[in-house]
Amino acid sequence: MSTKRYPKPHTRHSRESGNPGPFGIRGEWGSRDFVEALSGQKPPRREKLQARDYRSTGKFPVIDQGQNEIAGWTNDESLIITEGFPYVVFGDHTRAFKYVDEPFALGADGTQLLKPSAEYCPRFFYYACLQLDLPSRGYNRHYTFLKEKSLPLPPKPEQQKIAAVLWKMQRAIATQDRLIAATRDLKQSAMQHLFTHGLRGESLKDTAIGQMPRSWSPRCVLELCNIQSGGTPRKSVAEYWKGDIPWVSGKDLKAVSLDDAIDHVSIDGVAAGSRLAPAGSVLLLVRGMGLAKDLPVAVINRPMAFNQDLKALVSRGGYSGEFLRSAIYAGKERLLDRIVASAHGTMTLNLNDVENFELACPSDPDEANQIAAALATIDRKLAHHQQKRAALNDLFQTTLHQLMTAQIRVGDLDIDTSEVTTPSPQGVAA
């Protein structure tokens, strides 16, 4: 099964100009109104599973309108759709499309079950839906607007070749997703082992924050670093925002690299309202919805300014910023437990909780930094897969647009279409 958000709208060429229109080179492709592109066959009626009843494991996947390919699992066979595959599931609120060719249960409110007519290769129909421009109307339903659209209708052999090309690209993306998940699991396992056993084969001792090597000790963040607060230069002074110093906010901590930070400030801007953290500092999110599920934390590779939602931890005593970040992340569940919500619902970590947060720390900074170097090797592998995944996704979006607008033609090419024309065995995901 496959899932994808709508791609960003692309510029479409007019038919009057003689350029490719939205449904191919003039006259060569037909089109169908969206409703006409659907099969007259009514999908099986099954009760939808409420989100509170999703399980973390089970026999059958639950497909809902969310962005995750599989939202959960169930063992309730009375809810399972077992025939009529494949289907396309449309998220009425989220505008997400998912291609499903295995037995599944439909998730709670907001899903529409679509089945293309015999004129369409099912996977081509799915990809044609991805190319539609459906502007977001918030949490309103979007199926009414979807029914107003139309889909291209190339000859069926060309549909199959288009679908085969895009399917191969999606499989490459899925491979990177699996590698990313495996690398994250590897890092989690390595971190747990290293912060419990260290590198020197010492016997272990029990402490208030868990087992650690006998020569280690729990140490507060404030013992290992200086803490700086951030700020925001006045937006009304344009000169403050015309420099070359990256200005980092909470959303930037989610980027693969902080060098992708959008905003930059000048030295005057730093002096007027922000702060400048030196290279090697750890930026920790202490306020914002990013704290709801995780603990965004990153090490900067050059001096950067940052806003008031972050704290900069400037390590000292020979312990590197990479070690400090890893030690914080190894104990993040304890720190997440200290997050409180303000009257307005904003998630916040109090400065006192950060300062007094205890980390498992070797007595020898060299051992600490060797641990950080080992984990950094895994981080580089993770970043490589994330960058490759992003590049493949960009290529997919571009190719999807070009194929669906006939800027690229594949009808005369020798392309293996067996993966998109041979039905998958029931119960096996394509």
pLDDT tens, 123-171?
Answer: 999 999 999 998 888 777 888 889 999 999 999 999 999 999 999 999 9
Q: What is the pLDDT of residue 76?
A: 94
Residues of the chain short of pLDDT 70, as ranges, are 1-27, 255-257, 259-261, 343, 422-430
Q: Does residue 287 contact residue 309 with C-beta atoms inside 8 Å?
A: yes
Q: What is the pLDDT of residue 215?
A: 97
Q: What is the pLDDT of residue 428?
A: 37
Q: What is the pLDDT of residue 22?
A: 52
Looking at domain 2-176+384-421, which of 3.30.2130.10, 1.10.3720.10, 3.90.220.20, 3.30.420.80 is its CATH number? 3.90.220.20
Q: What is the pLDDT of residue 138?
A: 76
Q: What is the pLDDT of residue 256?
A: 59
Structurally, at CATH architecture level, domain 217-361 sits in Alpha-Beta Complex (3.90)
Spans of all domains in the chain: 2-176+384-421, 217-361
* Nearest to 1, CA basis, from 95, 47, 54, 69: 69
Q: What is the pLDDT of residue 377?
A: 95
Show Cβ contacts of residue 174 under 8 Å, excluding neighbours closer than 6 positions. Answer: none
User: Same CATH fold, 217-361 and 2-176+384-421?
Assistant: yes
Q: What is the pLDDT of residue 16?
A: 33
Q: What is the pLDDT of residue 20?
A: 45
Q: What is the pLDDT of residue 8?
A: 36
